[in-house]
């Protein structure tokens, strides 16, 4: 439009600053990303993969990213060229003088632009469909099938057994055998969440009232970070989880231990804590083998076998555990776990009891 050809009336020296800063930030981010393309120690890195499913998705991730960057560079270049290229004659100042056409050159540019971008888009669509089809099912039958239920803001993990007594429920830490596909049936307890373990598997939405299925394989033993990736409320960012891949014998031993009920505490202090726990916490939390059977919060039967608390947001240490019991709202505001007032000796006894839940 001709009215834009002169300097904008509001343009001053200060207005140039934010775009320049933005440009600098953008370039720095790109350089950082380019310098670290294969940093597997970045827990949510999706530019590398560590399992069969992610291996199939990775080329598409890189391909589409590179195409997008090339498109932005090309368009910016053309735009800059169009701005800087001076046409002859003084700029026209009124709409009346704006020519309706500038000759036959323009249409050729549009045809080339639409044609080229259609080819690129079409190729990307085909590539995406083929990749989605490829990762629908693993090559071999999954070794185990788990059920993961997303809650505001934590993950319930159910391991079914051949017999009901061999099944168990845990939370926020998913153990899997290395090198074998694991199928995961995803259910939503309240709002829409999304299940994502970037190094092992792409995102799958978790929707209340429906069951979505995903699968993953870990090529090497290790701990992989997962994260809810659909905004689900104030603590969405603190809805993490861990996937712990273990060699099969180690995994089987873990599974056997998890299926067992909690051992009764030996020390009097912890026994006292168990009674307080059942009275204060048993309506929300389960500890198998005791009277505590609440289903609102995580099953705590083998709490001390977990590395983290509060959906992988804090390490599971005696100190953080003691604080979490009475100050959950300060550590994870708006979670369903309230701040609980209790006498100090009761607090100490419950902490001592929970620490026996190996």
Counted residue by residue, the chain has a size of 358
Task: Enumerate residues 141-160 that contact ligand CUA by CB under 6 A.
Answer: 150, 153
Cα(171)–Cα(307) distance, rounded to whole angstroms? 11
236 binds ligand CUA (CB under 6 A): yes
Answer for which of 52, 135, 173, 230 binds ligand CUA (CB under 6 A) is 230
The neighbour count for residue 62, using CB atoms within 10 Å, is 12
For residue 316, give Cα distances in angstroms to 74, 88, 148, 194, 354.
50, 72, 21, 24, 11
**Of the ranges 57-65, 224-232, 296-304, 319-327, which one interacts with ligand CUA (CB under 6 A)?**
224-232
Answer for which of 187, 193, 225, 332 binds ligand CUA (CB under 6 A) is 193
Cβ contact 224:218 at 8 Å = yes
Answer for which of 239, 244, 281, 337 binds ligand CUA (CB under 6 A) is 239
270 binds ligand CUA (CB under 6 A): no
Cα(217)–Cα(52) distance, rounded to whole angstroms? 6
For residue 314, give Cα distances in angstroms to 104, 115, 311, 339.
65, 52, 8, 17
Compute how many residues bind ligand CUA; rule: CB under 6 A.
9
> Phi and psi dihedrals of 205, rounded to 5?
-70, 145
Q: Closer to ligand CUA at the Cβ: 193 or 302?
A: 193
Least distance (Å) between residue 86 CB and ligand CUA: 52
57 binds ligand CUA (CB under 6 A): no
> Phi and psi dihedrals of 65, rounded to 5?
-65, -45
Q: Closer to ligand CUA at the Cβ: 193 or 276?
A: 193
Token representation of residue 87: 């046409």
Least distance (Å) between residue 236 CB and ligand CUA: 3
**Of the ranges 44-52, 97-105, 125-133, 228-236, which one interacts with ligand CUA (CB under 6 A)?**
228-236
Q: Closer to ligand CUA at the Cβ: 230 or 272?
A: 230
Could you list the residues that contact ligand CUA (CB under 6 A)? 150, 153, 193, 228, 230-232, 236, 239
């Amino acid at each position: 439009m001709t009215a834009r050809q002169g300097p904008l009336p509001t343009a001053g020296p200060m207005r140039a600053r934010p775009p320049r800063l933005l440009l600098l930030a953008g370039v720095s981010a790109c350089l950082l990303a380019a310098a670290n393309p294969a940093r597997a120690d970045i827990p949510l890195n999706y530019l590398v993969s560590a399992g069969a499913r992610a291996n199939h998705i990775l080329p598409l991730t890189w391909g589409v990213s590179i195409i997008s960057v090339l498109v932005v560079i090309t368009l910016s270049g053309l735009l800059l060229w169009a701005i800087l290229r001076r046409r002859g004659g003084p700029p026209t100042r009124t709409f009346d003088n704006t020519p309706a056409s500038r000759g036959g050159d323009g249409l050729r540019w549009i045809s080339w632009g639409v044609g080229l971008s259609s080819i690129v888009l079409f190729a990307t669509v085909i590539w995406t469909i083929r990749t989605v089809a490829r990762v629908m099912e693993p090559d071999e039958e999954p070794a185990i099938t788990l059920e993961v239920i997303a809650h505001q803001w934590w993950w319930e993990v159910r391991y079914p057994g051949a017999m009901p007594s061999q099944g168990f429920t845990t939370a926020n830490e998913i153990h899997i055998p290395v090198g074998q596909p694991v199928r995961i049936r995803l259910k939503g307890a309240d709002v829409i969440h999304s299940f994502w373990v970037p190094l092992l598997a792409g995102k799958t939405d978790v929707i209340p009232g429906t069951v979505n299925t995903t699968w993953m394989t870990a090529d090497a033993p290790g701990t992989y970070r997962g994260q809810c990736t659909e905004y689900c409320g104030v603590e969405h960012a603190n809805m993490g989880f861990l996937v712990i891949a273990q060699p099969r014998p180690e995994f089987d031993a873990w599974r056997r231990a998890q299926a067992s009920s909690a051992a009764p505490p030996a020390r009097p202090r912890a026994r006292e804590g168990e009674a307080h726990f059942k009275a204060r916490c048993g309506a929300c939390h389960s500890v198998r083998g005791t009277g505590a059977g609440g289903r609102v919060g995580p099953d705590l039967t083998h709490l001390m076998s977990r590395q983290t608390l509060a959906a992988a947001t804090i390490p599971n240490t005696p100190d953080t555990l003691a604080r979490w019991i009475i100050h959950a709202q300060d550590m994870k505001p708006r979670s369903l776990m309230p701040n609980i007032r209790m006498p100090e000796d009761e607090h100490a006894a419950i902490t001592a009891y929970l620490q026996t839940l190996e």
